[in-house]
A and B are shown apart, each in its own frame.
Chain A
Amino acid sequence: MLIFEKGAPGRKAHSQVPGSNAELDLPQDLLRQDKAALPEVSELQVVRHFTNLSRKNFSIDTQFYPLGSCTMKYNPRGAHRAASLPGFLARHPLAPESHSQGYLSCVYELQEVLKEVTGMAGVSLCPMAGAQGEFAGVAMIKAYHEARNDHARTEIIVPEAAHGTNPATAVMCGYKVREIPVKQDGDVDLEALKDAVGPQTAGIMMTNPSTCGVFERQIEEISKTVHDAGGLLYYDGANLNAILGKVRPGDMGFDVLHMNLHKTFATPHGGGGPGSGPVAVGERLLPYLPTPIAGCAEERGEKRYHWLDDDALPESIGRLSAFMGNAGIILRAYVYAVLLGREGLHRVGEYSTLNANYMAKLLENAGFKLAYPGRRATHEFIVTLNKQAKELGVTAMDFAKRLLDYGYHAPTTYFPLLVPECFLIEPTETESIEELEGYVEAMIQIQKEAEDSAELVTGAPFTQPVRRLDDVKAARELDVAYRKPEAENQ
């Protein structure tokens, strides 16, 4: 039942209404004539409705959630508590620097941490999500070439395994996209890359480890090939968790990257956001970083923090939001870095990789087919259920839905697109061995069901608030907003 269908005309949450019926000193023809059809409910009705809705969700706090490429690790409560301190919540984004030293110091220190872990020369925390970070990164590549009057560079190269955001971003920056193939072993086809680069190449967008769940071993050759052609290297930080503390994008030869703080720095995913997608750059791209950025100066032996705006960075690609990105997420990521410290950040890459390799091995031992056997798993790996689909008529989607009945969130399914019937599984470092084994056990059970009584799998889920939904009807008979039934409208 919808919140609109609860309540009654005239009912209200009395203590939330300020009790003002002040006249509006405004012209009549600019005033609203009808009432906005918002719910009319009591405070308890609201609390109960939304509490009950929350119970219809899977979440990290309630279930193992190994969604590949999304890094669904534990979101520390301490980070949330600290970012919710009243002084931080009440700070206006345009408050003067005299009343912003606390917040600015956190922003500045996080910039420094991110520079170190990525091996880059400068950081801007402005982008509000990974896709906006990608946009900022490619816009900086464009600004760099334009500043050199190199207008012939009209193409961005993207390996076919890339996230959909990569080609979409390149187009948003006015580039043409050239896709290059990936080889059987998951590495980029270097010969195809060599054929693809030229004076038209603005840059390449890559994820490393790639979305195939393996580390791109030829990264130095790729870097040399693209740089020799005059292009720049963009690092999509979606999989940074795999290598945190182990290898830095700056050392691999990347010129610019974005990070997903909601992945690698453990900020909550919030049912689809907010994220935060800071960008880091090497020396060449420093002048183009999006604004504002926090700066620091010593004043009479005391650190004073300030904003660097487009006055200070005249060549910046500019602003990406009204203020400065998802500040509250930035605070949570800062706290995460403070809690982990140097040693803890090293362990992120190590234990996420250990967990993925363990799960991959258990599944392989149980007879599941890995997409890249013989390769090390990174923080994630791919299982292909192509055989099950062909021989048993049970698809990756069916396995995914049946996993829900076992109390596990499904992995990422059907991505990357080049592996048929695939599961991209990312356990993260915060899961215990018991969870990993439980998940593998569920996969084994589902395999048995697929062989013996396939309808248990193809008809799943059975235990969720709804069974499989009619997506075709959803798109054909579009219903995207509630409307009161006609009879009640009179």
Chain B
Amino acid sequence: MPFIPHTEQDVQKMLDVIGADSIDQLFDEIPAHLRSRTLDAVPEGLSEMAMMRRMTERAAKDAGALCFIGAGAYEHHIPAAVWDITTRGEFMTAYTPYQAEASQGTLQLIYEYQSMMCALTGLSVSNASLYDGASGLAEAILMAIRGNRKSKSRRVLVASSIHPLYRKAADSIVGNQGIELDEVPIDSEALAVDMSQLDKFAGEDYAALVIAQPNFFGSVVDVNKLTDWAHEQGMLVIGVVNPTSLAVLTPPGQWGEAGADIAVGEGQPLGIPMASGGPYFGFICCTDKLVRQMPGRIIGRTVDLEGKVGYTLTLQAREQHIRRSKATSNICTNQGLAVTAATIYMSLLGDDGLSQVARASHANTHALRQRIGKLPGVKLGNQTHCFHEFVMHLEGDAEQILAKMADQGVLGGLALRKYYDALANSVLVCVTETKTEDDLQKYEEALKAALQAVGGEG
């Protein structure tokens, strides 16, 4: 019996104490006709050895290609120590630190995490994490609606240069509360918010403006101008940011005159493997003013009854287990283990290391742009500045070209047709510090061959 320690003698002794004839008798309060007999569709169990063989074969099917897809999940080097320590049973198999005295490890770690996120974003409060960047955006929007004292509006303005899957997820989550997300169109040449379009929204009542830095296309945009514009309109500013970039780009707390009010984003680049999309974690930080609108767990520093420093869950009066239907969110479980990894990652890298990861990724991205920019059939997106992603427009069917590249072991990027009508044959490409000159050359060759093959077919 996998993982069940009972011997026959144990079972007999236990039944004798309970006063039952059989284990089955313990279910006698369930109406007999409801009881399930078999689970026919479930196969018989495997030994660990047989299971590992199956899983190793399956994992191998997905392995081996060079990955140049970004779009919200990024391949970075993860120091060996990060997951070696994170997966210690004491971190991995603990739960929410309800018993603070027996959870000081997790609690202090989250306090350190909150401190690091505040340092990166330039804001004063961080929570203990949300599920991921996209659901984090939804929570940020709800927070802004609750927190904007100047506006009673249940509408939020969202730049369409925000990750399209973030916009979809946010819409599924906040739409049910009657909150509307209106989109600011982008200039598909510049791949950034069209400032001239923005003025159309001036004077309208919106609770917040959501902007991304870098945006979905990898463009680094003038967030100062956008922030000031939104504040002049009485909107709060929600910045969707990449944490790696924060080592080199202006932190949201310093955008424009007054700084963004909320920063939110995907924590995955901080030491979390791409792993098919999760578990990652969403980070969210805000100004002091908004702290009581923050969803989820927050850890505070305090003292014990002997005056010794300790850490505990705080401001719990915002949360579902106390406030029930009046809570700021229904969130309960967060992404603690991923946060553990990120905290160790940030400690190992430090400001200097993270900044070098950002610089190396940026430099590699530009090196690939230079290599492929002159290829016939390729036109680079007209981005003034990009961080570690860029758009290329292809002559020919982008999806077919990517499929041909995949056949050669290169995942060349994300086709944008599904997300933007105006970008039917455009591809979003990402290059991080993990790529070498050889890798870039392999990309160039695979793209050339794919362009020829697809062109030839056409």
* Residues in A neighbouring B299, C-beta threshold 8 A: 480
Q: Quick check: is B65 within 8 A (CB to CB) of the other chain?
A: yes
Whether B35 lies near A358 (C-beta < 8 A) is no
Whether A54 lies near B59 (C-beta < 8 A) is no
Within 8 A of A (CB), among B108-134: 108-109, 111-112, 114-116, 118-120, 124-126, 128-129, 131-134
* Residues in A neighbouring B199, C-beta threshold 8 A: none
Per the bound structure, the CA–CA distance linking A101 and B302 in Å amounts to: 50
Whether B103 lies near A38 (C-beta < 8 A) is no
* Residues in B neighbouring A13, C-beta threshold 8 A: 79, 348-350, 353
Q: How far is the CB of A351 from chain B (nearest CB, A)?
A: 5
Whether B304 lies near A94 (C-beta < 8 A) is no
* Residues in A neighbouring B247, C-beta threshold 8 A: 32, 36
* Residues in B neighbouring A344, C-beta threshold 8 A: 1-2, 45
* Residues in B neighbouring A157, C-beta threshold 8 A: none
* Residues in A neighbouring B332, C-beta threshold 8 A: 129-131, 164-165
Within 8 A of A (CB), among B4-51: 4-6, 10-11, 13-15, 17-20, 23-24, 26-31, 34-36, 38-48, 51
Question: Which of chain A's residues has its CB closest to B129's CB?
Answer: A273
Can you list, as one digit per residue, whether each of B223-249 has a CB less than 8 Å from chain A (1) or not (0)? 110000000000000000000001111
* A466-B101 CB under 8 A given contacts A17-B356, A105-B58: yes
* A466-B297 CB under 8 A given contacts A139-B176, A319-B169: no
* A328-B278 CB under 8 A given contacts A18-B356, A172-B330, A466-B308: yes
Per the bound structure, the CA–CA distance linking A116 and B397 in Å amounts to: 42
* Residues in B neighbouring A93, C-beta threshold 8 A: 72-73, 274, 276-278
Whether A246 lies near B67 (C-beta < 8 A) is no
Within 8 A of B (CB), among A207-261: 214-215, 217, 219-220, 243, 245-248, 251-252
* A85-B56 CB under 8 A given contacts A41-B347, A318-B172, A481-B118: yes
Whether A173 lies near B176 (C-beta < 8 A) is yes
Question: Which of chain A's residues has its CB closest to B5's CB?
Answer: A432
Per the bound structure, the CA–CA distance linking A355 and B273 in Å amounts to: 38
Q: Quick check: is A268 within 8 A (CB to CB) of the other chain?
A: yes
Per the bound structure, the CA–CA distance linking A61 and B93 in Å amounts to: 6
Question: Which of chain B's residues has its CB closest to A187's CB?
Answer: B29
Q: How far is the CB of B138 from chain A (nearest CB, A)?
A: 9
* A170-B45 CB under 8 A given contacts A19-B356, A468-B305: no
Of the candidates A67, A350, A362, A481, the one whose C-beta lies within 8 Å of that of B114 is: A481
Question: Which of chain B's residues has its CB closest to A272's CB?
Answer: B336
Q: How far is the CB of B79 from chain A (nearest CB, A)?
A: 5
Q: Quick check: is A375 within 8 A (CB to CB) of the other chain?
A: yes
Per the bound structure, the CA–CA distance linking A469 and B311 in Å amounts to: 8
Per the bound structure, the CA–CA distance linking A341 and B29 in Å amounts to: 26
Q: Quick check: is B442 within 8 A (CB to CB) of the other chain?
A: no
Flag the segment in A70-78, A190-198, A388-396, A445-453 that touches B: A70-78
Selected A-B contacts with CB under 8 Å, 21 pairs: A13-B348, A16-B348, A26-B387, A39-B347, A57-B103, A58-B102, A59-B92, A90-B75, A95-B67, A103-B58, A142-B176, A269-B336, A272-B95, A326-B131, A339-B2, A351-B4, A469-B310, A474-B302, A479-B300, A480-B125, A480-B298
